[in-house]
Amino acid sequence: MSNVIEFTEEFETYGDTKIMTVIPITLGGKTFEVHISDKEAEKFYKRFSGCVGESEYNIADSIIAVNKLVKILELSLDVIVSE
């Protein structure tokens, strides 16, 4: 089986000073557009301050998006995703 989660190279940002980022995630042929607010991202960056540099922001945003998507899928499908 090939990769079941795919990310696009470019993320859309909204507002003059990045208010929100939209990350499209394709999972099993279905695309989910996960919205990440600037506050959510800043909270994550602060939690890992010193480890996350400007060049890793896209990776950090992707981690936030996957976590959000997992939570939404767990709630909507009554599925538990184990680590």
Q: List the domain boundaries for the chain.
A: 5-77
* Per-residue pLDDT, 46: 86
Please give the DSSP secondary-structure letter assigned to residue 55. Answer: G
Residue 11: pLDDT band by 50, 70, 90 thresholds?
low
* Per-residue pLDDT, 31: 84
pTM: 0.69
Beta strands in 28-74 (DSSP E): 30-37
* Per-residue pLDDT, 82: 65
pLDDT tens readout for residues 25-74 = 888 788 888 888 888 888 888 888 777 777 778 888 888 998 998 888 87
* Per-residue pLDDT, 1: 43
Residues with Cβ within 8 Å of residue 50, at least 6 apart in sequence: none
